[in-house]
Chain A
Amino acid sequence: MQRFSALLDALVLTPSRNAKLALLAEYMRETPDPDRGWALAALTDGLDFPAVKASTIRSLMAERVDPVLWTLSRDYVGDTAETASLLWPEPLGQHLPPPSVAEVVETLHATTRVTAPGILAELLDRLDVNGRYAILKLATGAMRIGISARLAKVAFAQAFDVRVEDVEEYWHGQAAPYLPLFEWAAQGAEPPRTDLLPLFRPFMLAHPLEAEALDLTEFAAEWKWDGIRVQIVHVAGETRVYSRSGDDISGTFPEVASALHEPCVLDGELLVRGSHQGGETGGAASFNALQQRLGRKTVSKAMLRDYPAFVRLYDVLIDGGEDLREWAWEQRRARLESLVTRLDPARFDISQVIEAATFEDLVGIRARARDDAIEGVMLKRRDSPYVAGRRTGLWYKWKRDPLLIDCVLMYAQRGSGKRSSFYSDFTFGCWNGDPDAGAELLPVGKAYFGFTDEELKWLDRHVRQNTVAKFGPVRETDKSLVLEVAFDSVHESKRHKSGVAMRFPRISRIRSDKPAHEADRLETLKGLIVP
């Protein structure tokens, strides 16, 4: 437990992602089973002890600390578990040595609401202040220290020098303390079997196209649809819909999940029916329409009626139990074209290959795609296997050029980690009318990337020298600097005073040559809104 609590403390205080990875990897290498597996589950919120609640801690403390002193302390610290770890009376006399993580997990699993306080108290008596903090956080399942499942998997891959794609694949369907996973990675055992479970397979991703042109006899072109990338898995009568990150979103899109009955693993773009993308018939609505459906745990009938979802298929990974990932894209495409005829056409269609004889033709077709609000074009090597992650030379995404607008820098906020000494988060605005006739700037967006290190230094200096007010970590500037902001699209938004929300804004150029009153007006930005 001490090793785990030291890890927890270091993770809380380490801002850099790489340093966090190194800490996690070292812990996994040097900690025996099953402690490391339990620790990993605890850090990624994979543990639940129904018998232990925050109220269990409060009642434990009520027996030991004056209620007024407890409340004053809790209010000061702002966290029940930490307050309790600090106020826990150091036990007198001899106690058992600190428990291992596994002992803690097993003990807590065996508790009931009635026995939990007493058992937790005995464990707390065996630990120092950091150990108490760790155990209380672990027991109440509220780590919240910024360790995502993805970060944990990358660290796992680093620790044992295995491929993160393999970790992604084998991890799914494994329960803590992940013994088969460690046996495979640390001891070279056979990897866990994954073919009989509705598991997520890591996505194949694309690099941005940087070459001038590609040979279309080697590469096939497809539209890049503006929805969310999903994987649909059907095995042994069960269907799952997974997002890019591997989250199970089947419950959010029940009409899609219930429509697949073929045993297969498919890759596609989840969209909502509409006429916005790809023409009137069989078209898709804008991303904004899809947004209505995202993040919902329960879906109303009205939602299903007004925003019906479907999947536009890109690829097939497994068909009828046969793993096609080593096959060439062309062969998989043929399998997909025949498979799609057996699927419900209301929920599944196929992303058409763009008919272009030469790259010049494709350039012309892509240029016209702006009006269709398609995100861009994908270029896939005709002989490429389906490999997890981003492999050079196989798939390219060729996004349409970003939209640009000139905004005025209004506020800047300090960054975090390596950027904590820099003002690196910038809020910018557009004029709500004629600036010479008393118009005001309204904030339209916020960006914290797009600039080079040199530009960041320049911007930081500008902010410091042109501050008119400070609010904690935020500085208000004199609104003299014009920034050219690039963004993918802009939408109406009731949540913002300006009435617009930009997608993916970034600083594209510093326009210190341009006076602020010549920056764009809000109406210009609103003219770019996609309905």
Chain B
Amino acid sequence: MAPPFSWLRPEPHGLYITPADAWIDPARPVDLALVTHGHADHARGGHGRTVATPETLAIMGLRYGVVEAGSLPVAYGETVTLRGDVRATYVPAGHVLGSAQILLEHAGERVVITGDYKRRADPTCPPFEVTACDVFVTEATFGLPLFKHPPIADEMAKLLGARENEEGRCVLVGAYALGKAQRVIAELRAAGFTETIWLHGAMERMCRLYEDHGVDLGDLKAVAGVPKNALANAIVVCPPSALNDRWSRRLPEPITAMASGWMRVRQRARQRGVELPLIISDHADWDELTTTIAQVNPAETWITHGREEALLRWCELTQRKARALALVGYEDEDD
């Protein structure tokens, strides 16, 4: 008999499911890919067949121009059976629109691959569901005990407060174009902000896609061609890379804000020239990571990407069996 879980093999560019000849979030084109969510470090184009939620497939279609003829949509809670008697069930991960954990079942063993996830409420996607399993493959982007994301209402109050305090200036919020931007906008709406929110050109199509999937983002308009004075005291959302670039010169003395879990560390905010750090992340913070491992309570925890050492140490201190997988290609500098 094969040793436990030997049917799932960590390779440098993804997790390989041997009996199904399929990959999870592969970093290069393969015949059969199971994709957890639409961020570019997990979802790449060019696969023969892609299995993902309908939302993730739509995002991939938008980003890569074509949806492969062989794409196979799987709704939350649905199970597909792959070759070699491997069953894959897609479970909400609470990370971004369409994001899923993938539960794999084979030979009486259950493995959950989280992809990226968070435990906080998010108006743009259904919440993470705790799923019992033998092996829990978790991310560790914010896997250091110093990362504690504050309640998002606090950060929204900071953002709206900055806008009111600086007459004539606009607040420019750098936010990841997929997920973070829409979540910030939806949270602003939830906080009662009804004015137009202005968008960098790179944000527009993804926001429309969210709206097409039933996420209400209120009145959105593109900044392009709008005179400076029309943007006084406005809130403008752009990708983080545009924060300090030439593009921002068209705005009235922007207060540069950045919505990211990294903003918890002053020096990170300073390095990016951010005046208003907003600690908002779509990843689990330290307490969420450790609480989730405790709730799932697997026989083994595999840690994929981020700051694995600290989470490994925590598992050691709490007498949990754990190992770090050396997967390449997952970067999340801007989340």
Contacts and interface: CB of A to CB of B under 8 A. Distances in A.
A15 B273 CA distance: 8
Interface stretch (B1-9, B66-74, B308-316): B308-316
A12 B310 contact: no
Contacts of A14: 275
A148 interface: no
Interface string A61-75: 000011011001100
B275 A73 contact: no
Contacts of A9: 266
A86 B317 CA distance: 21
A42 B144 CA distance: 31
Interface in B248-273: 248-249, 264-267, 269-270, 273
Interface residues of B, number: 26
A interface, over-half SS? helix
Contact of B269 (A13, A83, A87): A13
Of listed B245, B276, B310, residue having the most chain A CB within 10 A: B310
Contacts of B317: 66
A77 interface: yes
Contacts of A76: 144, 146, 265, 307
A421 interface: yes
Contacts of A15: 273, 275
A9 B246 CA distance: 27
Given A82-B265, A421-B244, A65 B277 contact: no
A420 interface: yes
A15 B276 CA distance: 12
Contact of A72 (B246, B274, B276, B310): B310
A432 to B, nearest CB: 35
Contact of A12 (B245, B266, B314): B266
Contacts of B266: 9, 12-13, 82, 133
Given A68-B313, A69-B310, A421-B249, A13 B145 contact: no
Contact of B245 (A73, A82, A87, A421): A421
B313 A13 contact: no
Contact of B146 (A68, A86, A420): A86
B292 to A, nearest CB: 18
A13 B269 CA distance: 8
Contacts of B245: 421
Given A87-B145, A421-B248, A13 B307 contact: no
Nearest to B256: A420
A162 B99 CA distance: 60
A292 interface: no
A341 interface: no
Contacts of B277: 13
Given A73-B146, A86-B146, A416 B273 contact: yes
B276 to A, nearest CB: 7
Closest 4 CB pairs of A and B: A86-B146, A420-B244, A72-B310, A68-B313
Interface of B: 144-146, 148, 244-246, 248-249, 264-267, 269-270, 273-277, 307, 309-310, 313-314, 317
26 contacts: A9-B266, A12-B270, A13-B266, A14-B275, A15-B273, A15-B275, A68-B309, A68-B310, A69-B145, A69-B310, A69-B314, A72-B144, A73-B146, A73-B310, A76-B265, A77-B267, A78-B267, A82-B265, A82-B267, A86-B146, A86-B148, A87-B146, A133-B266, A414-B244, A420-B244, A421-B249
Given A9-B266, A78-B267, A421-B246, 5 more contacts: A12-B270, A73-B146, A76-B146, A83-B146, A420-B244
